[in-house]
A = this chain, B = another copy of it.
Amino acid sequence: MKIIELNQIKKIMASIDVIPCIEQAFVAYSKGDAVMPSVGELIFTHPPGDVHIKYGYIRGGDYYVIKVASGFYENAKMDLPVNNGLMLLADQKTGVFKAILLDEGYLTQLRTAAAGAIAAKYLAPRVVHHIGIVGTGEQARLQLFYLRHVVKCKKIMVWGRDDNKLLQFKNEEMFKGLEIEVTKDISEMAFCCNLIVTATPASSPLLFAKDIQPGTHITAIGADSPHKQELHQDVFAKADIVAVDSVLQCIERGDVAHAVRDDVIKQENLIELGSIIDGKHIGRANDAQITVADLTGLAVQDLQIAKAVLNAVS
């Protein structure tokens, strides 16, 4: 069995094309080729934290995966990273463990950011004039990084609550050749941008239907637990297309969970991203539509990215 440390994983990932790798995961899942039980969850209160355990396999494949990812939100006070995690790969035919990837949550961050780029690739309007980023954390930066693989736009508006974090974000990203504006007014951001990514751990809605302009695509990344929410239910009522990574997982723990529960949208109208990638659904039909992608993060994404790392060292 191989034990692969974070520094080695980072080197490997520099030469892996993550977007097609994660697209394959979505397609396999939406074709029904994956076995992926409900997410395991441990909640801590003193101090607050959560651990997600995502696990599954693709039938006929080599491995099954178990991925652990945690968020302990007061770690920053102790100069510890908020996120942590690891991935296990075992032989799907014998149960023999093949690899432990000590990624400390890094691969989860990457596959999540790649999923955001995939959502934009298939759902964003043809011309993106401004990209709106909601949040100033690590995932917000990574979303922007991967979006650049699929969208040419260099005009970015970032929303956050903290002046220092907004300034730091601006200073860091400006050096990558981007035009960065910052705002603490989310309505202003939504008014200016036709591709918006939300990447916060918010537990009450940040974006409302009244903020959203025709022709906008929104990818909601942050909500992956029943108590989290970034988009108000009325955003879904206004949307022409609502895509999800997994219908079953999103109605349990995504932003759409709130909208489906309140009967604002119907479960049967949700379209899986894998079906759009695979051409079974057309996705965006014109540049006036409002589209939303609600992503909760799938075990098959973890499986695909972990396999890519293991294959690179084997």
Contacts and interface: CB of A to CB of B under 8 A. Distances in A.
Given A3-B3, A35-B42, A42-B37, A93 B72 contact: yes
The secondary-structure label for the interface of chain A is strand
Nearest to A78: B94
A68 B94 contact: no
Interface string A66-108: 1010111001001010011010101011111100101000000
Interface stretch (A49-57, A110-118, A185-193, A261-269): A49-57
Interface in A16-45: 35, 37, 40-44
B35 A93 contact: no
A177 interface: no
A70 to B, nearest CB: 3
Contacts of A159: none
Contact of A95 (B51, B64, B66): B51
A266 to B, nearest CB: 28
A47 interface: yes
A63 to B, nearest CB: 12
B96 A68 contact: no
Interface in A193-251: none
Contacts of A53: 40, 53, 55, 66
A35 B40 contact: no
Nearest to A71: B95
Contact of A47 (B55, B68, B83, B93): B93
B43 A40 contact: no
Given A68-B88, A88-B86, A90-B70, A95 B49 contact: yes
A101 to B, nearest CB: 12
13 contacts: A35-B42, A42-B64, A46-B93, A47-B93, A49-B95, A53-B66, A66-B66, A68-B88, A78-B94, A84-B90, A84-B95, A84-B96, A97-B102
Given A44-B64, A70-B90, A84-B90, 7 more contacts: A1-B102, A37-B42, A42-B64, A51-B90, A66-B66, A72-B94, A86-B97
The 8 closest A-B pairs by CB, nearest first: A70-B95, A84-B95, A72-B95, A40-B40, A72-B94, A75-B94, A80-B94, A49-B95
